[in-house]
Amino acid sequence: MRIICNVSIVEIIGTMQGVITKEDVFGALRGVFDPELGTDIVELGMVQDVEITPAGVVTLGIALTIAECPMRSQIEDDAVRKVSALRGVTDVHIDIRAMTQKQRSGVMERARKTARDNAEPTRIDPKTRVIAVGSGKGGVGKSSVSVNLAVGISDLGYRVGLLDADIWGFSIPRMLGTSERLEANDDKVIIPVRVHGIEVVSTGLIVESEETALMWRGLMLSKALEQFLHQVDWGELDYLIIDLPPGTGDIQMALSRLLPQAEMVVVTTPQKAAQKVAIRVADMARRSYMPVVGVIENMAGFVCNHGDRYDLFGSGGGRELADSIGVPLIGAIPLDAGVVEGGDSGNPVARFAPTSAAGTALNATAQRVVELVPPVEDETCTARIARLVEALEAQPV
């Protein structure tokens, strides 16, 4: 509950006499939270057109992010309750409306800012772009895409880290061909393993020995993500790619809490049936303020040696998903035996077979990711000013 101290004497006398001011109404509404966005509805700029009659009837508009917001009745009831409790209020009318696209992005920006301000500091450099790779289900090629994006972005000249957040089902060490163990330095800080020029951390690289054993013993594995962000010396990275476990579980929630700067790319197959699960991931990302950068369609068709194309897993699913969540389709990676071989031998196709069908597509996808989420240093002054103005405009008045 926020305490408003700049209340004038006139307002205090007014309140004593039971005359309600707009400030009173806003003050009461600061106690109404949007449970999904985690901030009060005033801060989020959802309260509009407050009117108070001399008889104490309060009418106000509440703009929800979407009209069918599942929290609608709770927000409405809370608002009525809080405002009715003000001395002098005789009746409350609430007009629920839906935000415009512009208002909605303003709210999301504010919610993200609040989340960022409240987040515990991690060892991830604030200048590092964090890209989480998510999918609705396993086996769609999320880890393969993560590894190849990491290598592909590194080949574009950027410093890249790869965090295997698939704590139970890690596959990154094999895909990069490393069996090195994570070591801790004298300050008990874990140093990532450097392989193919990228900084890698995975539970698959942990061994019960000496310092590392001391550090990990007794720690719940579910806390591993937190440890990876707080106890690993990631150094100065341009990009940190995070291979998420499939689905919309605890790790996704923890990630958005720990690293509010994280953005997500969603991997899906061309199959129509895969869209429903994938859409849930995108939805979850949005609810935890993780912007979705775009969709990557994997296993998109197979081109045989004769040049004929076979859509083994259907077609169009990636585009459909991208359109339905309003983000770009970042890339389409064909089915290519090279991906499997590269994954098994630890030599990712993006680097070791860059002219193969999948290698070409993966490198193009890496390039596109960098365009969509440009490295912080590369941002031009104009882009920075534009962002600043946008953020300022989004501030509540």
**61, 48 contact by CB (below 8 A):** yes
For the record, the structure tokens of 11 come out as 């307002």
Q: Which residue has the tokens 């994938």?
A: 278
Nearer to ligand ADP, 135 or 261 (CB): 135
Query: Which of 207, 277, 340, 391: binder of ligand ADP (CB under 6 A)?
Result: 340
Q: How far apart are CA 105 and CA 99, in angstroms?
A: 9
Q: Which stretch binds ligand ADP (CB under 6 A): 123-131, 134-142, 188-196, 214-222?
A: 134-142
**Burial of residue 45, with CB atoms counted within 10 A of its CB: 0-12 exposed, 13-18 middle, 19 or more buried:** middle
Nearer to ligand ADP, 144 or 202 (CB): 144
Nearer to Mg ion, 21 or 171 (CB): 171
Could you say whether residue 144 binds ligand ADP (CB under 6 A)? yes
Closest chain position to Mg ion (CB)? 143
Instruction: Count Cβ neighbours within 10 Å for each residue of 202-225 and write b for 16 or more, e otherwise.
Output: bbbbbeeeeebeebbeeeeeeebb
Could you say whether residue 143 binds ligand ADP (CB under 6 A)? yes
DSSP letters for 55-115: T-EEEEEEEESSTT-TTHHHHHHHHHHHHHTSTT--EEEEEEEEPPHHHHHHHHHHHHHHH
Nearer to Mg ion, 152 or 260 (CB): 152
The torsion defined by the Cα of 133, 139, 140 and 145, in degrees rounded to 10, comes to 50
What separation in angstroms does the CA of 137 have from each of 70, 118, 277, 281? 25, 31, 7, 9
Nearer to ligand ADP, 27 or 246 (CB): 246
Could you say whether residue 171 binds ligand ADP (CB under 6 A)? yes
Query: Which of 106, 134, 136, 141: binder of ligand ADP (CB under 6 A)?
Result: 141
Could you say whether residue 335 binds ligand ADP (CB under 6 A)? yes
**333, 365 contact by CB (below 8 A):** yes
Could you say whether residue 350 binds ligand ADP (CB under 6 A)? no
**267, 142 contact by CB (below 8 A):** yes
Partner from ligand ADP, Mg ion, none binding residue 139, C-beta < 5-8 Å depending on class: ligand ADP
Q: Which stretch binds ligand ADP (CB under 6 A): 156-164, 234-242, 307-315, 335-343?
A: 335-343
Partner from ligand ADP, Mg ion, none binding residue 368, C-beta < 5-8 Å depending on class: none
Query: Which of 135, 231, 252, 356: binder of ligand ADP (CB under 6 A)?
Result: 135
Q: Binding residues for ligand ADP, per CB under 6 A?
A: 135, 138-144, 171, 298-299, 333, 335-336, 339-340, 343, 358
